[in-house]
A and B are shown apart, each in its own frame.
Chain A
Amino acid sequence: MKPIMLQGHERSITQIKFNREGDLLFSASKDVKPNVWYSINGERLGSYDGHSGTIWSIDVKWDSSLFLSGSADQTMRIWDVETGNCVSDLEMKTSVRGVNFSYSGTMVAYTTDKMMGHHSELNIIDVREPNNVDATPIMKTQVTPTDAKALSVLWGPLDECVITGHEDGAVIKWDMRTGKKIEVGTEHTKQIKDMQLSHDGMMLITASKDTTARLWDIATLESLKMYKTDRPVNSAAITPLVDQFPHVVMGGGQEAMDVTTTSARIGKFDARFFHLVFEEEFARVKGHFGPINSICFHPNGRGYASGGEDGYVRVHVFDDAYYQFKFDF
């Protein structure tokens, strides 16, 4: 498959996300401007100006009306997707690491970094009136000093719980109403780099620096499957067509400073496809010039996009070989 290369960022990509219908692709980078593109032909719509630091995390509301970005400049901003106007600018005490709209889009969960005496926090705010957002959180939990800082956050399927991924590899499920921990999964041994839900919200996949990705059941936070590679995994995603083609895709790579010691000939940073049930790798897609930092499937399951340390976003559409590939069993 020949990918579309999106060149719009000057520094490495931190996260990319499709909107729910898949026609728009949002990309965030260490250069301070998130971009939005038409995924069908790679045409850029525009960028959202206003931040002054690395954008760590982004999210889109389910109806594609609002765009959310969390940045290292200690602010979280809500934007109007169509016009690019900043609707709301919320100041935080430290850098915002993870942001996520709730299923209904009425609430936002975000996590902040542990810096300069402030602890890492998980907060939830009400955004029903985006122009007039009350910055005081309706629920706030301090990730206690003993817990490693929370880096990524996801809402559970019916907005009843929030799941966070931490720097020590712990995956913690919090009850939305009480703010208490319900479940903790500690199978990962190093930092969780990314977490993504399956399209029905029933399964969770986590990508970790300990060179593995794991598939979890949301309700019990039980680790169902483990996918092993030889390099730190930066991002992982589950295909929306999980019942016909049970695949997961993972992207990662050696840390930037170790790059020259690996077999790093041009374009050897690959996205790896694993069979979800058999935990076996069956395909690799080469092309990036640096480690892949974020990867996600197109919501229709017919393609995927990956963003890398090299600042490029590559959008792929699967050809027939993908659909015809069958595992013997």
Chain B
Amino acid sequence: MAKKKLKMQDNDDDGGAEEEEPDFSDPEDYVDDVTDEELLGDLLRQKPKETDGVESVIIVDGVPSVGPERLDKLTNVVRKIFKEFGAILNEYYPINKDGETKGYIFLEFKDRAAAEEAVRQKNNYKLDKQHTFLCNLFTDFDKYEHIPEQFVAPTPEPYKDLGNMSYYLLDENCFDQFSIIFDGGTTTAIYLNSVPEAVEVAKRERWTETYVRWSPRGTYLATFHGKGIALWGGEEFRQVQKFSHPGVQFIDFSPCEKYIVTFSPHVDQRSEEPQSIIIWDTRSGQKKRSFNAERPPLWPVFKWSNDDKYFARIGEDMLSVYETPSFGLLDKKSIKVMGIKDFSWSPTDNILAYWIAEEKDVPAKVSLISVPSREEVRTKNLFNVADCKMHWQKCGDYLCVKVARYAKARREKNEVKYSGIYYNFEIFHMREKGIPVDSLEIKENIQAFAWEPVSNKFGIISGELPSVCVTFFQVNKGLAPTELKKLEKRPCNNLFWSPQGQFVVLAGLRSMSGALEFIDTKDFQVMKSTEHFMATDIEWDPTGRYVASCVSWWGHKVDNAYWLWSFQGKMIKQQTVDKFCQLLWRPRPPPLLTQQDIKDIKKNMKKYSSQFEVQDKMRFSKASREIIEKRQKQMATFTEYRKSMIEKYQEDKEERLKLRSGQDTDTLTSNEKDFEEEIVEFLVKKDTTQVEE
């Protein structure tokens, strides 16, 4: 700071009321040694410059033409839209002869950076149905006017070769991969389910912070982190992509893996853009669109059509269907459906099924509409409905709607209480003309429902825990569904079909101590009845060959392990893993073979199986040979060690004799001469026999 000299004046002795003010001015010849720049640098920087006014101006085209009476409203709207880039220093709305704005405006921002950001973000911003902003920097016009005549090709960015992302499908033995999380969630490992031992493919500490998810076709592994999601793939599980979404909690993949949806409850207060749900393009990592979500959301909020073309979500009394790749609303407006409760897509066609709740005198309805035509393909009115749940069969052939019907409804304050609930299954035959609907009534409480993946059978678990009935039905053309088999009093609360159909596992998970039953539904023979104590999850591998039953550390703190069974219920392996948490099989994409091909292979099964048997035998013998070699080596080392020990032991014998005053106690019989023999009688057994009189 500049030096200041004070010239204090002495007080007058006469006790004058006022003192003279001290003089703070510099002495006459004082030279300031601090420059203005240092002292006032920040103020000087803000000093307006004459040039550069042009660089922070943008031109926005596509602005509505309004008359003077609505000009204020327009300026307010525009200001609000652009204010997030900083202060708008100047705005100019050119007006034509009739007094209306010409449709393009000039906006000046604080600096070039703000202007560039505004252009980047708001170019193509849809103000409303008829107006889309087109933003450009003022200087851009200059640039475009002076484009060189010669075309200079831009240098291409080197292609990031990710390698063969589907390498795992080329495994010559067709072993599947699975991921396991253990050590209480800190370590994640990928294994190849090879015979006889699983082979570790990759293992990393802290690969994820909570859990992992495979993409639907198995190409990527997604891991969760505080800052967002990371995707891994390829032979070495390198990081393929990452998505920054702080506090991400849930993710969802689109069925063809083109897009990934992430949800985070954290909201950045500063930005006005909705941030809870973001949709990204998987390969490029680009943010496609973001949405708001109510908290906490019923995940997944967005449901995808099977070909990734559409995705939809429910709102209050409306169904919003969006299309890709534009990510805009289909037909620019949502479908208005009063009282819509839930919806789902068909797994094979672009058809949406939704249901509407009952409202006073209007009955509930289940409706099927085709997208994008919005044509109603089928509806069905339902009476006395308390709740509905939709289950599509995997091939899209059937839709089953489980309807909870009530016998009595009471209005209590603002809620309705239902009593006397019984269940109906409405089965829509999607492939038949007119989509006929069958109805099946079940009086008991339904615990679980599952379609067999590739056929027209389904199984339900009904009744009250712990002794429930498992019933299998077949859907018929032209008739009501017929009951195929009913199994009584089974201790189970879930059923899991093999992905290839025919086989099913009935499991009593969590609270039911892990009872497992393997059933062949061709003849409903119980192949195996067994248990995995305290099992928490069952996972079929994607080919339907193996079942993994897991005791997860997240559910149960002890005995954490996964057990592998064959599809027939034969125990293959029991693998205990420290603090094991989760096992997930890597999914496979749908096969490229046609149905005819598959039929041919099944016919020639015997030919193929003999080939494989030879291979299997060789593999087993190799494994046991390895083990045997290892054991022989171990035994050899040990015997040598023992030999040296025994030698030492013999050497020390004299010492030992001394310590025990001459008594040889090395073996139990070494001092027999010291033994005294004594005959002792003691009672061994008492026996009474009745003697006939």
Contacts and interface: CB of A to CB of B under 8 A. Distances in A.
A230 B652 CA distance: 39
Interface string A226-264: 000010000000000011001000000010001001110
B659 A103 contact: yes
Given A261-B556, A262-B558, A104 B668 contact: no
A219 to B, nearest CB: 8
B576 interface: yes
A323 interface: no
B628 A329 contact: yes
Contacts of A203: 645
Contacts of A278: 631, 634-635
B622 to A, nearest CB: 15
B559 interface: yes
A105 B638 contact: no
Contacts of B558: 254, 258, 261-262
B652 A158 contact: yes
Contact of A262 (B559, B652, B666): B559
Contacts of A62: 660, 665
Interface residues of A, number: 37
Interface string B547-581: 00000000011110000000000000000100000
Contacts of A329: 628, 631-632, 635
Interface string B625-665: 00110011011001001100110110010011001100101
Interface in B645-693: 645-646, 648-649, 652, 655-656, 659-660, 663, 665-666, 668, 682, 684
Contacts, number: 69
A328 B635 CA distance: 11
Given A103-B656, A263-B533, A299 B631 contact: no
A104 B659 contact: yes
Contacts of B655: 158
Contacts of A328: 624, 627-628, 631
B534 interface: yes
A325 interface: no
Contact of A230 (B576, B631, B645): B576
A169 interface: no
Contacts of A22: 668
A200 B651 CA distance: 12
Nearest to B684: A41
B652 A263 contact: no
A111 B548 CA distance: 49
A158 B665 contact: no
A261 B631 contact: no
B538 to A, nearest CB: 18
B556 A105 contact: no
Contact of A246 (B638, B646, B666, B684): B638
Interface string A7-48: 000000000000011100000000000000000010100000
B178 to A, nearest CB: 22
A300 interface: yes
Contact of A200 (B631, B645, B668): B645
Interface size range of chain B in the complex: 20 to 34
Contacts of A246: 638
Interface in B292-324: none
Nearest to B638: A277
A41 B668 contact: no
Interface string A305-329: 0000000000000000000000111
Nearest to B632: A329
Contacts of B648: 202
A167 interface: no
A159 interface: yes
Interface in A180-224: 200-203, 217, 224
A157 interface: yes
A102 B648 CA distance: 19
Contacts of B642: 242-243
Interface of A is mostly: loop
A158 B557 contact: no
Contacts of A224: 641
A63 B634 CA distance: 37
A263 B559 contact: yes
A202 B645 contact: yes
B127 to A, nearest CB: 62
Contacts of A262: 558-559
Interface in A276-298: 276-278
Most buried by B among A21, A102, A203, A263: A263
Contacts of B634: 277-278
Nearest to B556: A261
Contacts of B646: 200
Nearest to B551: A263
Interface string B389-433: 000000000000000000000000000000000000000000000
A224 B644 CA distance: 15
Most buried by B among A202, A217, A246: A202
Contacts of A157: 649, 652
A201 B652 CA distance: 11
A217 B642 CA distance: 10
Contacts of A243: 642
Contacts of B632: 329
A21 B645 CA distance: 23
B649 A20 contact: no
Contact of A104 (B534, B628, B645, B660): B660
Contacts of B668: 21-22, 299-300
B591 to A, nearest CB: 40
Given A299-B668, A328-B631, A159 B659 contact: yes
Contacts of A104: 659-660
A41 B576 contact: no
Contacts of B641: 217, 224
B635 A277 contact: yes
A159 B660 CA distance: 11
A159 B652 CA distance: 12
Contacts of A300: 668
Given A263-B534, A329-B628, A43 B635 contact: no
A276 to B, nearest CB: 8
A327 B624 CA distance: 12
Contacts of A41: 682, 684
A159 B655 CA distance: 10
Most buried by B among A43, A276, A329: A329
Contacts of B534: 263
Contacts of B635: 277-278, 329
B656 A158 contact: yes
Contacts of B665: 20, 62
Contacts of B624: 328
A317 to B, nearest CB: 15
A230 B638 contact: no
A63 B376 CA distance: 98
Nearest to A229: B576
A276 B666 CA distance: 22
B196 to A, nearest CB: 15
A43 B645 contact: no
A158 B659 CA distance: 8
Contacts of B652: 157-158
Contacts of A200: 645-646, 649, 666
Contacts of B682: 41, 43
8 contacts: A21-B668, A41-B684, A217-B641, A230-B559, A230-B576, A263-B534, A277-B634, A328-B628
Interface of B: 533-534, 556-559, 576, 624, 627-628, 631-632, 634-635, 638, 641-642, 645-646, 648-649, 652, 655-656, 659-660, 663, 665-666, 668, 682, 684
Pairs A-B, 3 closest by C-beta atoms: A104-B659, A329-B631, A202-B645
Given A261-B557, A278-B631, A327-B631, 17 more contacts: A20-B665, A21-B668, A41-B684, A43-B682, A62-B665, A63-B663, A103-B659, A104-B660, A157-B652, A200-B645, A200-B649, A201-B649, A242-B642, A254-B558, A263-B534, A300-B668, A329-B632
